[in-house]
Amino acid sequence: MSFRTTQSNTSYRRLIEKATAYDDHLASEQDGPSNANSLDPKLVETIKLLHALFKERSLDDATVSISCDAKDPADGAMPEQIERFAIRGILGSGGFATVYRGFDEVLQRDVAIKALRRNSSPNLPDEQRLREARAVARLSHPNLVPIYEVLDIDGRLYLVAEFCDGPTLASWLRDNADRLSVADSVEIMVRLASAIEHAHGRSLVHRDIKPANIILAMTTNDSKLPFEPRLTDFGLVRDLSQTIDEQTARRLVGTFQYMAPEQFLHSQLDHNEACDQYALGVLFYRLLTGRLPHAEKSGIEMVEAVCTGPPAKLRSVKASVPLDAEAICLRCLELEPDQRYPSVSHLIDDLRRFQQGLEVKARPRGIIERSLTFVGGHPVESALLTLMLIAISSTAVISMSHNRALREQQHVLQVAVSRALDAEALAEESLDGERRQRELALESRAKAKRIAMLSDIKLALASLSRGDAPDAAATVNRIKEYVDSDADNDFAVAMLGNLVGEGTTQWPEGPAPVAEIAPVNSKGQTCIGYVDGTLRMVDDQSGKVVRELVMPEGKNICALAVSENAERIAVGLCDQPGTRSVFAANEVHVFENNDDKPIFTRWGFPTTIESLTFLADPDQLAIGCRYSPVSLISLADQSYKKVFPSHRRHRELHTSVDGSTITFIHEADLFLQFDSATHEVLRELKIQNRAMKLTDMCYNIHRISVSHDQRYVAVTVSYSDGGRVVVADLSAGSPHEFPGSFDPESQHRREVIWSILLDSSSSYADSVVFSKDNSQLFIGSAAGDVICYDMVDILAASQNVPPTEPTCSDRRVIHQGPVNQLAVDSLGRIISGGEDGRVTVLDRSTIDRSIQSVPPAATIVRHGKETIVSGHTDGSVRLSNAFTGHSEIIVSAGKSTVSELCLDPHGRVLVIGRVNGSVDFLDFDSRKIFHRIPHVVDENSTRNSVDFITMNSEGTEVAICVAGFSLLVLELGNNGNQPSVSLVSEHQLTSSVDAAWFSDSQDLVLLGDLVKQWVRSKAISQTVDSGIGGLTAVIKEPVGDSVYSGARDGRIRRHDLAGKVTMTSDRWPRPTLHVGIDSAITALSVDATGRYLVAGNYTGHLSLWDAETLQYLGHIPTHDEQAPIRRIEIAADNQWISYLERHVEDPTSRPKSHRPKLIRLE
């Protein structure tokens, strides 16, 4: 017996949405793990399916059934015994089950045992867990594999079934395809169809019929076949007598090459007996021709071919296929289920008629063909009939010979006219059919592209969330390849293209891995040494190579130093692997200014030169050789002396800014700081296990960095189970003591501030450096990450009792391999050099998106393509250019805080609502307020603010709500060349209103406790729908008739213009947030094309949604997620997103406004 394990379904809305299987995989993503071993299993399954679809992998035996439930790894080694069954081997293994070959020690027979994973079913109800077993238990047929019993051991299910010793039909066909006759193929189909008929009679639909699920039990007592085909694996069975929920109904199940069109296009509610009949047709096609119906297609093209057109006729593939067999097969493969056989029993009847040589119902024969068939079966009767016909024909010919010519001419003319008319009608019908097929194909192609693009957008946003910019960039480039020129105009693709390169610049890629980086700050340059012996000088400002030196052939650069006056460069060299030399391989060369020849060379160092550093005197050079004492060379008199004994590799010699001290690693857990003039030890710093929360682990200090103010030192520590970076305070403690010791009684640390644990994805730190202003610590990991910690966070974490791990402020994957070197250039930026030969500049200052020319604002609204209008707490209103930063005050301060802004579609009139309930109307051309509605203070109410302002699409009417219950409708017009305002109506509402818009009939739709339509002609309100609790944001799409709303429940709703809810999204998928608060949507905006929504929430996160399906696409990284998003605006040409945060420092205090932020998309 052969079991194939399948995983449960995930819901998808349409054809390729189902195939991508990715619309919910980020539902539980935060920043995302960067270790492949900890990837969410649903993401792994999704990637497998996408690979199958888009990389043109074989889909022949790929069973589709993807779950959004997390899955744990396999349970371990093969058991020796399962109750009374002895385990004798593994027959197969999959994602959710393993199939063992067992022996029933009581009944003395072989069995097949399908062991489901422990975590694949315990939480499901028995109806779902035992679905396959209960379905097979209802069946009894010689061509089906029965299940003997079901075992439930500690929550794990075991299905014990008959063991069939034989190959699958799939493997047999690979070896014996040419040996299969038409008669054998038909007999196989009769027996399998009989088994399926038996299952259909019990309301069961198999839904996964394919050669891999058919076992050939070898037999010698069958005169027709050498084996008995037996169908197995009812894992995807559907019981037609049972109902299924909506989520389950939308899942995609089956094997792509054997799935019927309705399995792609419709929900499981439409999966009936016709699906199995289609799969039998695909199997019959393969048996007769040796190939699948759409074998020339793959991926999306295959799915499109299955759903839009018939397969190639069998005789065009293999001419020897009988016409009747071809007709039976193609009848099963009809696109519409009602065009196939009414049932499988009718299919069996036609197959048996074919075996008996009778006329099949799939292809009624003409009179001539029936006559020839009769003649072949009745030769004597046919001969007599032929003689009679000859006699009658001769008599008729003689009697009609005189007028035959006239009749023939008349007949020819009638036939010609009839054929011409038929040909014309047929041509017109064929042309219409081709047009419809082309339109359908183009529509399907466009949908497939859109769905594929949305899936890749999800992948790119997920990569950005975990800091993997290279992976996100690769995904964006892939989108541009298959979306062609449309990608350049797509809002989401443009946004991603901007975010992937934010804050980083690539310098020219090197010829080999980066060995050393040495800043030359006085010249504004950086010196980079590559392992292959190439030395480059790069201009910090332009990133261009200004000088390049190549070391002697066969030499690798292993160390590099630049003197403080930038006049000298020292290079440590060693032999390349495989090079043989008579002299000692290790040497130092010193170059001066722009001279390509060294002014000093010394050979014969006993071990590899790991590090070099100049002292304050450029004639003094310190050298650290592997496992040798630190030594000093005087370039003036070429004297050489060993200064301090040591037994480490000396990967780093760190000289202070004034050159007075040198810090280096002395022992595995000890580093020293000594006076470069007197050679006396100034400080010993020992790192102890307790300070790193380590117990009995082997560890070594690896790299070292001292802050520019000489206060802090950071060392990378590698040990048997991972890596840490330990930060110590050099200003505390006294010389010669071990200030890194840790007193668990008092929780007091003398020197060690805290140790940063690197996660398993980073493995260990390869490099470390402090920023120029000493406020940040950067770590380069073996996995290619550059991780940033703010020193204030490190200090704060160290003050907790017990101390906690500090949170990194930035993390991004920059290199495809270890980060070999980190340095700070003359502009204060971080330079990283990797094993991949790339040099990347990280400038975190460019990530600040605040529009610096604009002070903290209370609300914003876009004005045209380049400008933003902002309202402030001091009552002023400003107009600012989003690109140049130029800002001007258009309404002076001194009035009440601005609460709402609304700009008419023509950009001429700005309506300003204030906290005290007053409303100003500003003429943009003259920058003057031409109308004002004074505020009316209700002494009995604490709420007098203008809640919302909305205009109709023509900009001729405006509705204003004050204090939630007062509604004003005003008309905007012109009095000569000046705009004017007149009151249309004023109403006191009976229920609270949070938002409103104008419908097509210019009536008002009010959203609040209830959804109401205010009928202006009758001055009454009509309830349209139930209200939406916690409504926070409403936006109308610019190119359509839809309105979107966001609420505190974390969901987005689509309304028609009458206010009725037509679609509701799933909850904002951020499971780690506090339910009901952090996931609450506080702001909403739609792009200029109406295809995407951008939402903001209470914790300052931005997210991207597909407007058509309301699918959550992913988190938009903003680097400042800390305060509620107050407002989001998108430029009219999609060139930027502006958002405004409001920070609550204390729940009892008033919210503090922030500067508007900007994400550029150009």
> Measured between alpha carbons, how far is 314 from 187 in angstroms, rounded to an integer?
18
CA atoms within 13 A on the CB side of 1040: 18
Closest CA to 791 of 871, 719, 728: 728
> Measured between alpha carbons, how far is 620 from 937 in angstroms, rounded to an integer?
80
> Measured between alpha carbons, how far is 918 from 932 in angstroms, rounded to an integer?
7
Closest CA to 369 of 331, 324, 332, 328: 324
Collapsing DSSP states into helix, strand and coil, what is residue 911?
strand
> Measured between alpha carbons, how far is 1082 from 1067 in angstroms, rounded to an integer?
14
CA distances 222 to 177, 218, 229, 481, 823, Å, are: 20, 10, 12, 57, 80
Both tokens of 835, joined, read: 């094993």
Cα R_g (the chain), whole angstroms: 39
Matching residue, tokens 């449309």: 486
Per the DSSP assignment, residues forming a β-bridge with 972 are: 981
> Measured between alpha carbons, how far is 880 from 866 in angstroms, rounded to an integer?
8
What is the side-by-side strand order in the sheet with 752-757?
Answer: 699-706, 712-719, 722-729, 752-757
Can you point out the beta strands (E) in 137-256? 147-153, 156-162, 204-205, 214-218, 227-231, 238-239, 254-255
Q: What is the enclosing helix (H) or strand (E) of 462?
A: helix 404-465
Matching residue, tokens 């068939």: 373
**96: buried, middle or exposed (CB in 10 Å: 19+, 13-18, 0-12)?**
buried
Closest CA to 967 of 1014, 904, 902: 1014
Phi-psi region of 1086 (alpha: psi -120 to 50; beta: other; left: phi over 0): beta
- Residue 312: CB partners within 8 Å, gap ≥ 6? 293
> Measured between alpha carbons, how far is 253 from 268 in angstroms, rounded to an integer?
8
Q: Are 272 and 340 in contact (CB under 8 A)?
A: no
Q: Supply the DSSP string of 924-980, one letter for each residue.
A: TTTTEEEEEE-----TT-S--SEEEEEE-TTSSEEEEEETTTEEEEEEEEEETTEEE
Binding residues for ATP: 114
Closest CA to 979 of 934, 933, 926, 905: 926
> Measured between alpha carbons, how far is 656 from 646 in angstroms, rounded to an integer?
20
Burial pattern 58-95, b for ≥16 Cβ within 10 A else e, equals ebbbbbbbbbbeebeeeeeeeeeebeebebeeebbebb
**Angle separating helix axes 323-332 and 182-200, nearest 10 degrees:** 30
DSSP summary character for residue 854? S
> Measured between alpha carbons, how far is 298 from 449 in angstroms, rounded to an integer?
15
CA distances 1106 to 17, 595, 1054, Å, are: 13, 60, 12
> Measured between alpha carbons, how far is 261 from 258 in angstroms, rounded to an integer?
10
Q: What is the enclosing helix (H) or strand (E) of 448?
A: helix 404-465
> Measured between alpha carbons, how far is 131 from 238 in angstroms, rounded to an integer?
9
Collapsing DSSP states into helix, strand and coil, what is residue 594?
coil
